[in-house]
């Protein structure tokens, strides 16, 4: 690419215009004031006495007891003698208010006696004494309210403009694009090396990078580069990072903005900002325009209460026009990101606008390992840290989730005053992200602890024995998040689909806690702890019947309406109606699946009642058990657990306080909300 990128810099601030207007206003106001016509004419005291005796003086002001200012009467100003002090200024105003003359008083007592003699002769005039510290101070004080008013006006005009592009004249730039320009030479440091775990997505966009570097390579063969690329993926998968890497690799200007930046309270502003955005892009071509969360303005038209005149739709229409108006050699490429491709307007996705949809999925085990290594570069690691092991235990995690684990591990190590981060901190961080934060300060009675232990032991026992269930990972009776206990399982590998047997096994494990409580404490003493389990089981059974076709009576038909459309017009038009008879069959089939899962759980626990007691006893003793430790207990082996809070004085202090001061106190009205984390 031989073409030099002439990036348009923002224009200099034009606030000097405001200053010029204010200055002119002050000058006109000051000079137009009748009290300020260029000063008074100096005279001697003899001339003053002459005017006084002729009854031409209306007022005398003695300033600081040294200077006298004389104001003449209106009749006296008509005399030819006083024409110099009564002439008009450049605004056409006559000096009728004065003062007109000034002179030094001299002896103040003698001057006062002269005034008293004139009064005794019947000459009418007024005189007063005045103290003036600074003339300019008076001027400043006089104009201070005006200056404050103008300053407040400028401030509010700047705020109302929304800080749009265009420098200081922001009141006129509300329709300007709010895209932020990143200079490829200084601002963009991200490359494909910084994007780990997205090999497939990177291959899709490398062609765009190659075109921006060597456009003639494609144009001379008649090829057309994709005009736009849409990055689709779940939140946290790295869509924005990938777009920055494209700009960093191509070494071109990069405009970044959000879809919500087009939305404004004023009608027509969105369309105006779209036009300005593409104009800026053409001036700085070749370049990349990145629009994050484009579903804010790119949703289906005609799907709202505003109809065709909706402001959002006008913005979308302008976006469609601008994208379709690109020439092949312009070198402006639009990259957008969204996690809701289903709500985008079809016209936006057609070839010629967004030619490609690049799927940015959650990383697989290899990708997770690479992502972890990227984030671990900034963290001092202990020799026992194995990124592969952590990646194996985090299926379904996004890049943002993995970054959070590394950060949480670093914080935990800092809390323990360690110099590096070990595998223990990474395991604790993983549990914290998956199961929630520990709430060791929560008070539970021994009876509640025992019920919680049997509840979680029931979940674990069914998971270990239900055919087709994913492997058990960890069980704890330490309150985490909103749950009083958690039983967690992890798949051995990344799961892409589930079988009928696997889903039935999940249903059974969800009822393991409730069945364990019933068998140990009786039906009348079942707690509310299974509330979340029942909710999960019901939702899973409904999906099996209505979406997955796992019902012989209903067959492989979808009975679930589309719940993804959240805006009114479109969701109303896609409602799926079913008959009352079909609804009764659905309810019957859902109930049958749930009852089958409950029966399976009861059968397993009745057959393994001795194992249930062993697991529950182990949980009461150690509070947290891994799958390996549970298997060892069932085999009759003794397990030894190290103090996980060693090195953390804060935790040790809090635990001692709990044991010594609040042990065996009732938990109060907190409901038992134990859940099985899936």
Find out whether 33 and 26 touch, Cβ atoms under 8 Å: no
**Pairwise pLDDT comparison (158 vs 618), residue with the higher score:** 618
Copy the structure tokens of residue 267: 């009608």
664: left (phi over 0), alpha (psi -120 to 50) or beta: left
C-alpha 437/C-alpha 7 separation (Å) is 49
Residue 404: pLDDT above 80?
yes
pLDDT at 661: 32
Residue 373: pLDDT above 80?
yes
Summarize pLDDT for 35-65 with one digit per residue, the tens: 444 457 888 888 888 888 888 888 888 888 8
Using pLDDT thresholds of 50, 70 and 90, give the confidence band for residue 541: very high
Q: State the number of CA atoms in the 13 A half-sphere of 312 facing the CB.
A: 19
Lowest mean pLDDT among 162-171, 204-213, 440-449: 162-171
C-alpha 7/C-alpha 91 separation (Å) is 49
300: left (phi over 0), alpha (psi -120 to 50) or beta: beta
**Pairwise pLDDT comparison (663 vs 301), residue with the higher score:** 301
How far is CA 345 from each of CA 275, 285, 322, 335, 478, rounded to the nearest angstrom? 19, 27, 15, 16, 48
For residue 598, which of 515, 488, 518 has the smallest C-alpha distance? 515
pLDDT at 318: 79
Mean pLDDT of 533-540: 89
C-alpha 87/C-alpha 85 separation (Å) is 6
Find out whether 325 and 292 touch, Cβ atoms under 8 Å: no
Write down the residue that tokens 């958690």 correspond to: 486
For residue 288, which of 171, 180, 157, 160 has the smallest C-alpha distance? 180
Lowest mean pLDDT among 93-102, 110-119, 161-170: 161-170
Find out whether 104 and 34 touch, Cβ atoms under 8 Å: no
Find out whether 413 and 405 touch, Cβ atoms under 8 Å: no
C-alpha 368/C-alpha 198 separation (Å) is 10
pLDDT at 165: 41
- The stretches of 488-579 forming alpha helices (DSSP H) are 500-510, 512-521, 531-546, 568-573
| DSSP labels, 164-186 | -SSTT-GGG-TTS--PEEE-TTT
| Beta-carbon count within 10 A of 265 CB | 9
Residue 576: pLDDT above 50?
yes
Residue 659: pLDDT above 50?
no
Copy the structure tokens of residue 152: 């407040």
Active site residues: 456
CA 61 to chain centre: 66
Using pLDDT thresholds of 50, 70 and 90, give the confidence band for residue 12: very low
* Neighbouring residues of 285: CB distance < 8 A, sequence distance ≥ 6: 330, 331, 332
Find out whether 452 and 444 touch, Cβ atoms under 8 Å: yes
For residue 444, which of 216, 231, 673 has the smallest C-alpha distance? 673
Mean pLDDT of 594-600: 90
Query: In what helix (H) or strand (E) does residue 459 lie, and over which residues does it extend?
Result: helix 446-465
Using pLDDT thresholds of 50, 70 and 90, give the confidence band for residue 17: low
Is-above-0.75 flag for pTM?
no
Summarize pLDDT for 71-89 with one digit per residue, the tens: 888 888 888 788 777 665 5
C-alpha 263/C-alpha 111 separation (Å) is 75
Copy the structure tokens of residue 553: 């009576």
Lowest mean pLDDT among 179-183, 250-254, 570-574: 570-574
pLDDT at 340: 83
| Edge-to-edge order in the sheet of strand 126-130 | 41-42, 101-104, 67-72, 57-63, 126-130
Using pLDDT thresholds of 50, 70 and 90, give the confidence band for residue 569: very low
Using pLDDT thresholds of 50, 70 and 90, give the confidence band for residue 213: confident
Q: What is the 3-state secondary structure (H, E, C) of 35-67?
A: CCCCCCEECCHHHHHHHHHCCCEEEEEEECCCE
Copy the structure tokens of residue 434: 């998956």
């Amino acid at each position: 690419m031989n073409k030099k990128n002439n990036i348009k810099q923002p224009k200099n601030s034009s606030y000097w215009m405001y200053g010029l207007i204010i200055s002119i206003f002050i000058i006109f106001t000051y000079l137009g004031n009748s009290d300020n016509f260029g000063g008074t004419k100096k005279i001697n005291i003899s001339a003053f006495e002459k005017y006084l005796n002729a009854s031409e003086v209306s007022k005398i002001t003695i300033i600081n007891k040294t200077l006298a200012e004389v104001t003449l009467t209106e009749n006296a100003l008509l005399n030819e003698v006083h024409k110099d002090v009564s002439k008009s200024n450049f605004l056409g105003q006559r000096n009728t208010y004065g003062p007109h003359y000034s002179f030094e008083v001299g002896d103040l007592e003698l001057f006062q006696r002269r005034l008293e003699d004139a009064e005794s002769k019947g000459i009418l005039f007024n005189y007063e004494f005045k103290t003036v510290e600074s003339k300019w101070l008076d001027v400043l004080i006089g104009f201070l309210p005006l200056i404050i008013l103008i300053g407040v006006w400028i401030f509010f005009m700047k705020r109302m403009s929304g800080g749009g592009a265009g420098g200081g004249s922001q009141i006129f730039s509300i329709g300007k694009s709010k895209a932020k320009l990143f200079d490829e030479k200084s601002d963009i440091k991200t490359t494909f090396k910084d994007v780990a775990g997205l090999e497939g997505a990177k291959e899709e966009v490398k062609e765009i990078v190659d075109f921006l570097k060597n456009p003639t390579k494609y144009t001379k063969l008649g090829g057309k580069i994709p005009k736009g690329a849409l990055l689709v993926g779940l939140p946290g998968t790295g869509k924005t990072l990938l777009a920055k890497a494209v700009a960093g690799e191509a070494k071109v200007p990069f405009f970044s903005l959000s879809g919500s930046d087009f939305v404004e309270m004023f009608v027509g502003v969105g369309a105006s900002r779209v036009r300005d955005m593409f104009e800026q892009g053409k001036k700085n071509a070749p370049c990349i325009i990145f629009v994050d969360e484009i579903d804010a303005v790119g949703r289906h038209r005609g799907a709202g209460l505003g109809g065709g005149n909706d402001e959002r739709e006008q913005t979308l229409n302008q976006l469609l026009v601008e994208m379709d108006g690109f020439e092949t050699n312009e070198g402006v490429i639009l990259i957008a990101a969204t996690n809701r491709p289903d709500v985008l307007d079809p016209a936006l996705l057609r070839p010629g606008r967004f030619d490609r949809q690049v799927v940015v999925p959650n990383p697989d085990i290899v990708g997770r390992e690479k992502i972890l290594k990227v984030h671990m570069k900034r963290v001092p690691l202990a020799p026992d840290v194995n990124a592969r092991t952590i990646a194996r235990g985090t299926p379904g995690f996004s890049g943002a989730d993995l970054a959070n684990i590394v950060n949480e591990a670093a914080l935990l190590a800092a809390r323990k005053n360690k110099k590096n981060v070990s595998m223990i901190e990474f395991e604790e961080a993983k549990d914290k992200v998956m199961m929630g934060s520990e709430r060791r300060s929560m008070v539970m009675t021994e009876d509640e602890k025992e019920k919680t232990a049997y509840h979680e032991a029931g979940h674990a026992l069914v998971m270990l024995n239900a055919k087709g269930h994913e492997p058990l990972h960890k069980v704890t009776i330490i309150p985490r998040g909103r749950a009083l206990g958690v039983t967690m399982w992890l798949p051995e590998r990344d799961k892409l689909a589930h079988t009928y047997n696997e889903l039935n096994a999940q249903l059974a494990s969800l009822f393991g806690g409730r069945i364990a409580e019933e068998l140990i404490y009786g039906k009348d003493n079942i707690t509310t702890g299974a509330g979340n389990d029942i909710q999960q089981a019901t939702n899973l059974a409904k999906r099996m019947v209505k979406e997955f076709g796992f019902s012989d009576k209903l067959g492989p038909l979808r009975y679930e309406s589309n719940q993804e459309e959240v805006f009114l017009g479109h969701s109303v038009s896609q409602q799926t109606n079913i008959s009352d008879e079909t609804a009764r069959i659905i309810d019957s089939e859902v109930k049958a699946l749930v009852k089958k899962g409950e029966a399976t759980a009861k059968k397993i626990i009745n057959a393994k009642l001795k194992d249930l007691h062993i697991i529950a006893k182990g949980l009461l003793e150690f509070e947290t058990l891994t799958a390996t430790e549970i298997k060892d207990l069932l085999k009759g082996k003794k397990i030894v657990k190290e103090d996980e809070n060693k090195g953390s004085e804060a935790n040790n202090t809090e635990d001692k306080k709990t044991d010594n001061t609040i042990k065996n106190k009732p938990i109060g009205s907190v409901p038992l909300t134990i859940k099985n984390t899936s």
